[in-house]
């Protein structure tokens, strides 16, 4: 099969032959676990991720009937459910609120079930309080951390990809008080604005006062970012 990626209403579609045989055209293809569709909006991938995560969470709840305690259920959620919702997120991280909420609803449902087992009614579970007590960041915050870690690895050579590195421009500030490390190009569309590299560069500029991309170790960098996100979530 082959697929044509495009963002236009009328894409140029050509027939492809191999050894005289017409190659079938597909509307989506899975590459390294990420489902890519022709428009590159990742809606199908997010739907599939949420479905698999819901099934994994159902498995945890069935196990809980055997007498699993509160903390064990959280460990299972972190091990079996959350990785499904985060795998390769720097590639497909959504910006549409409907998709962001769809992903977060999986964690909210998990928190509500835990709350019910602690005596709350389903609708009155204090979701943010329980998240903070358990150290469960919102999934959007964790995707933000993942973006920053990829950016850190790119600029420090931990990821050897010249094609991506050449998309990163560093800023030489004319005003010393302006501490923005990365130069941002103007985006003509929302899709481009929220695509991986521009999104990562904006995230990087947002934490320049907290971390040093070049002198901090990877562990220190990650710890600082996680602490910052946890503090923002607790406010």
Separation CA 110–CA 107 (nearest Å):
5
d(CA 94, CA 99): 6
% of the chain with per-residue pLDDT over 70: 96
Pair (158, 109) in one structural domain: no
DSSP, res 210 = T
Of 81, 106, 136, the position where a domain reaches its end is 136
Domain count within the chain:
3
Q: Give residues with Cβ within 8 angstroms of 137, minimum separation 6.
A: 131, 145, 226, 229, 230, 233
Strands annotated E in the chain: 17-18, 21-22, 28-31, 34-37
Tell whether 175 and 146 lie within a shared domain: yes
What pLDDT score was predicted for residue 176?
62
Q: What is the four-CA torsion angle of 110, 115, 121, 124, rounded to 10 degrees?
A: -80
97 and 69 in a single domain? The answer is: yes
Which among 217, 219, 211, 225 has a CA at the least distance from the CA of 143?
225
CB atoms closer than 10 angstroms to residue 139: 20
| Structural domain of 204 | 142-234
Shared-domain flag, residues 49 and 129: yes
What is the CA angle 54-144-94, rounded to 5? 55
Is 35 found in the same domain as 59? no
Q: How far is CA 68 from CA 75, 160, 177, in A?
A: 11, 43, 53
Query: pLDDT by residue for the chain (235 residues), tens digit each?
Result: 778 787 777 777 778 888 888 888 878 889 899 999 888 889 999 999 999 999 999 999 898 888 888 889 999 999 999 999 999 999 999 999 999 999 999 999 999 999 888 888 888 889 999 998 998 999 999 999 999 999 999 999 999 999 999 999 998 776 666 678 899 988 888 998 999 999 999 999 999 889 999 999 999 999 999 998 887 765 5
Q: Whole-angstrom Cα distance, residue 214 to residue 112?
A: 41
Total Cβ atoms within 10 A of residue 208: 15
Same domain, 50 and 34: no
**Do 127 and 146 belong to one domain?**
no
Task: For the chain, give the number of residues.
Answer: 235
156 touches 214 (CB < 8 A): yes
What pLDDT, in 10s, does the model give residues 139-192? 999 999 999 999 999 999 999 999 999 999 998 776 666 678 899 988 888 998
Separation of CA 110 from chain center: 19
**What's the pTM value of the predicted model, to 2 decimals?**
0.88
DSSP SS3 for 118 = coil
Neighbours of 235 (CB within 10 A): 4
């Amino acid at each position: 099969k082959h697929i044509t990626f495009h963002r236009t209403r009328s894409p140029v579609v050509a027939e492809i032959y191999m050894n005289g045989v017409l190659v079938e055209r597909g509307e989506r293809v899975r590459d390294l676990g990420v489902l890519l569709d022709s428009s590159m909006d990742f809606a199908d991938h997010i739907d599939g991720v949420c479905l698999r995560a819901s099934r994994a969470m159902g498995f945890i709840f069935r196990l809980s009937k055997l007498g699993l305690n509160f903390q064990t259920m959280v460990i299972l959620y972190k091990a079996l459910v959350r990785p499904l919702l985060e795998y390769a997120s720097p590639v497909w991280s959504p910006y549409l609120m409907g998709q962001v909420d769809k992903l977060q609803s999986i964690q909210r449902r998990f928190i509500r079930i835990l709350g019910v087992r602690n005596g709350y009614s389903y609708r009155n579970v204090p979701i943010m309080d329980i998240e903070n007590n358990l150290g469960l960041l919102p999934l959007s915050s964790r995707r933000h951390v993942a973006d920053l870690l990829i950016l850190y690895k790119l600029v420090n050579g931990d990821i050897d990809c010249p094609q991506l590195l050449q998309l990163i421009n560093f800023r030489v500030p004319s005003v010393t008080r302006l501490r923005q490390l990365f130069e941002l190009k103007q985006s003509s569309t929302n899709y481009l604005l929220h695509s991986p590299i521009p999104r990562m560069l904006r995230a990087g500029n947002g934490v320049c006062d907290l971390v040093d991309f070049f002198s901090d170790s990877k562990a220190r960098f990650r710890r600082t970012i996680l602490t910052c996100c946890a503090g923002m979530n607790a406010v």
